[in-house]
A and B are shown apart, each in its own frame.
Chain A
Amino acid sequence: MTFSNKRTMDCLHWTLRKTSAEVLQQTRSTTKAHLPVIHPYLSNCGNKAMANNFARILSSKRNVGIMSLVGAGSLTAAFLLNREHVTAGAQVRRVYPASAEYPDLRKHNNCMASHLTPAIYAKLVDKATPNGYTLDQAIQTGVDNPGHPFIKTVGMVAGDEESYEVFADLLDPVIKERHNGYDPQIMTHPTDLDSSKLKSGKFDERFVLSSRVRTGRSIRGLSLPPACTRAERREVEKVVVDALAGLKGDLAGTYYSLTHMTDQEQQQLIDDHFLFDKPVSPLLTCSGMARDWPDARGIWHNNTKTFLIWINEEDHTRVISMEKGGNMKRVFDRFCTGLKEVERLIQEKGWEFMWNERLGYILTCPSNLGTGLRAGVHVNLPKLSKDPRFTKILDNLRLQKRGTGGVDTAAVGSTFDISNLDRLGQSEVQLVQTVVDGVNYLIDCEKKLEKGQDIKIPPPVRK
């Protein structure tokens, strides 16, 4: 099904842009009676940023695909605008009212369960994104995984960029809870990948063993891992691998597809601690992101093994810059240079990353919105880690500790993985600076304790 009539497509673009403008004039409404030809999922939003974002999504070249969903023809405008047609041909599956479908969340402890009231469920349950992603799919992982009394998981995912708009009534409060009060309705997220602004990013290597920065990026116009079709997933792989092939200098590297890897390549990647495996955590598998494994999954890394990209694991891409030692500045420099270069290369082919000023970079899990950035070090703190004030010091510095095996592992000996707590509401530069300042403070405490001096709990870092 191809969309060959450029003029019809231009008209459709115009019609939809105009529709977005009309939306701006509407106030929040709970009925659709006086909104005849408005997208249902915009009808309740007077939010300018949201409408602009939607217009931007539609104007992006890659969303020819969404237009072609509609099929060529003169009624395409009406077709898309009347949401019933999006599900035309399908029997309405819901034989039961929303109250009969509402999940039993009494034993649940995750952000989704905390905010999904029967009223919100009833409001959103019949909606779908243009790609057909539904509320039940978004929350399935949270229904299937009640959670842990101490660790509060998010409990829902996005199937595509539009999920964050269509299901905003649920996602916005979830985001607010998870991201320490960040309100997507009124706040904007700063993006700053100018690594030259980072101050004093070189750590004492007597304590810091390695430095690492990671984030994720999604390709606009293609569904996210919980919802993507095989063809979309393969397209993500192709787009990204083509771009990475254009990297030069110390960024030049090789792609290893999980399907075609030789045993030798596999062993090398395991030894380098680069290889990712099929997810086993039910938090991930219940969202549908492990379907068709290992089709279109792979690992790319540069020849010096300091810049690494995972393709189609939990997100379209995960980008990692890392080195042994304490030179966080160089790690962050390479991170920013690499990311900008990859972005430039995909833009040459007409693609772009999912991003908006409300939520920053769009990723599968709401916990990774904004920067999606985790900057961290493996650091040895034998004395400080035994001090009863250690946890409080970390809290005030907005840092978190993990074992060196990653999230949910215990520390071995006294070597910890220390990284930023926040993801959204602060820029990349700000978050890495927080880690740099915080880790320097921790090292300073450790040195003081070595000399038998006392340490102080720092005042809370201002967000």
Chain B
Amino acid sequence: MPFGNTHNVLKLKYASSEEYPDLSQHNNHMAKILTPAIYERLRSKETPSGFTLDDVIQTGIDNPGHPFIMTVGCVAGDEETYEVFKELLDPIIEDRHGGYKPTDKHKTDLNPDNLKGGDDLDPNYVISSRVRTGRSIRGFCLPPHCSRGERRGVEKMSVEALDSLSGDLKGKYYALKNMTDAEQQQLIDDHFLFDKPVSPLLLASGMARDWPDGRGIWHNDTKTFLVWVNEEDHLRVISMQKGGNMKEVFNRFCTGLTKIETLFKDKGTSFMWNEHLGYVLTCPSNLGTGLRAGVHVKIPNMSKHDKFEEVLKRLRLQKRGTGGVDTAAVGGTFDISNADRLGFSEVELVQMVVDGVKLLVEMEKKLEKGQSIDDLMPAQK
């Protein structure tokens, strides 16, 4: 929960060692990196909007973590957080994003023409295709820290921009607090509705305050382009459809995003972005592209193969159950998506998914016929 900076002034009367959190039971990126010395150097700092070190790390203190799943354990309250607290966040980013250095530059590429292929994933295996990312509106604080007025400002600006989309992107906004029962049921049936977060990872950061004020869902009439407003980030943008035509999904994704960005620029603002971190989002794990491109794919044989994990690792892909992160797969159908977010461009990541899923389907077909997949084993990307 965010405190005003005068509260931070109160803490400074205590020695740093008296305020230092007990991280002895903890296993998350923040707990691995934070030392008493770093804490002492950073604790008197704050961003211009008053976000402090304890605000950054509170979620990591309150959620010691899991022995197998490494959570990040910190959040940003505004764009400046990544600058003011870089001494802590740079090593965390490096650890989380495969060695990405503080001096590295991130490439943004939202030109869908650069994607090769991707329109012919076998629909007998690939059930659906989806690309999602997040965007933050420059000048507003992020969900852990924003005031009600700011959150409503984000909503207003976003809805104005979305309302001016046309053609196959034309759509409608459903504010969470004004939704009728019928609208709510339809959104649930479409698998579009997001609910108040229950995960303590999210709650402890303060992002669920004032729910459902300022939150809502926008989608186009054809239900292939969807935007979440003020959930974990200012905006989450999703392009999806049934079948294996990832190229079309990515086309719409890029077109929609570019149009929305233009509309924001017309209003005198832009998305939070810089050439080192790419697109800036609440959780450090979503920096760079913030992009997760994935498919629901039927690979019952491949998923039981003892080389499955190794293949995924080499292809830089990750598996999830079809219920989303932390769910188990049902009946051999998996959610397969890119593991990386930062250090690769959008086109590069979607290319990895397209090429990787194509290979997985080929392997599945071979295993169906009782053949070996050894000659198909990929090199490490």
- Contacting pair A103 B5 (CB below 8 A): no
Say if the beta carbon of A243 comes within 8 Å of chain B. Answer: no
Cross-chain contact A104 with B213 (CB below 8 angstroms): yes
Of residues 136 through 168 on chain A, the ones whose CB sits less than 8 Å from some CB of chain B are 136-137, 140, 143-144
Could you list some 21 contacts between A and B, CB below 8 A? Answer: A68-B13, A86-B6, A89-B5, A91-B49, A93-B147, A100-B149, A103-B148, A103-B210, A103-B213, A104-B213, A137-B1, A140-B1, A229-B10, A229-B19, A229-B54, A231-B15, A231-B19, A235-B18, A259-B22, A291-B58, A295-B22
* Residues of B222-273 whose CB lies within 8 A of A: none
Q: Which 8 A-B pairs have the closest CB atoms?
A: A132-B6, A96-B149, A231-B14, A132-B7, A231-B18, A100-B149, A90-B5, A288-B1
Q: A101-B148, A229-B11, A231-B15 are in contact. List 17 more A-B contacts (CB 8 A).
A: A69-B9, A69-B10, A69-B13, A89-B5, A93-B50, A93-B147, A95-B149, A100-B153, A101-B149, A102-B148, A104-B177, A132-B6, A132-B7, A144-B210, A227-B3, A234-B18, A286-B209
Chain B interface residues toward A at CB < 8 A = 1, 3-15, 18-22, 46, 48-50, 54, 58, 61-62, 147-150, 152-153, 177, 203-204, 208-211, 213
Q: Is A412 an interface residue (CB 8 A)?
A: no
Per the bound structure, the CA–CA distance linking A223 and B148 in Å amounts to 25
| Nearest residue, chain B, Cβ from A145 | B211
Q: Tell me which residues across on chain B come within 8 A of A231, comparing CB atoms.
A: 11, 14-15, 18-19
Cβ–Cβ contact B213 & A229, under 8 A: no
Say whether, besides A144-B208, A288-B1, A295-B21, A95 and B150 are in contact (CB < 8 Å).
Answer: yes
Bound state CA distance, A91 and B10, in angstroms? Answer: 17
Residue of B nearest to A290 (CB): B62
Cα distance A229–B3 in the bound complex, in angstroms: 11
- Docked pose: A94 CA to B7 CA in angstroms: 17
Contact of B49 with A93 in the complex, beta carbons under 8 Å: yes
Residues of A close to B14: CB separation below 8 A: 229, 231-232
**B152 near A100 (CB under 8 angstroms)?**
yes
Which A residues, 1 to 40, have Cβ-Cβ distances below 8 Å to chain B?
Answer: 1
CA distance A1 to B50 in the complex (A): 21
Cβ contact within 8 Å between A293 and B7 = no
Contacting B at CB under 8 A, from A50-98, are 65, 68-69, 86-87, 89-91, 93-97
- CB-defined contacts of A291 to chain B, threshold 8 Å: 1, 58, 61-62, 204
- A292 within 8 Å of B by Cβ? yes
B149 pairs with A230, CB closer than 8 A: no
Q: Does A312 contact B (CB under 8 A)?
A: no
Complex CA gap A86/B7 in Å reads 10
Asked if A430 lies at the interface with its beta carbon under 8 angstroms from chain B, I say no
Contacts of B153 in A (CB 8 A): 96, 100
- Please, how many angstroms separate the alpha-carbon atoms of A396 and B150 in the complex? 49
In whole angstroms, what is the CA distance A286 to B1 when docked? 8
- B369 nearest CB across to chain A (Å): 53
Give A276-319 as 1s and 0s: 1 = Cβ < 8 Å from B's Cβ atoms.
00000000011010111101000000000000000000000000
B4 touches A91 (CB 8 A): no
A103 to B210, CA, bound (A): 8
Asked if A134 and B12 make an inter-chain contact with CB atoms under 8 angstroms apart, the answer reads no
Within 8 A of B (CB), among A90-139: 90-91, 93-97, 100-104, 107, 128, 131-134, 136-137
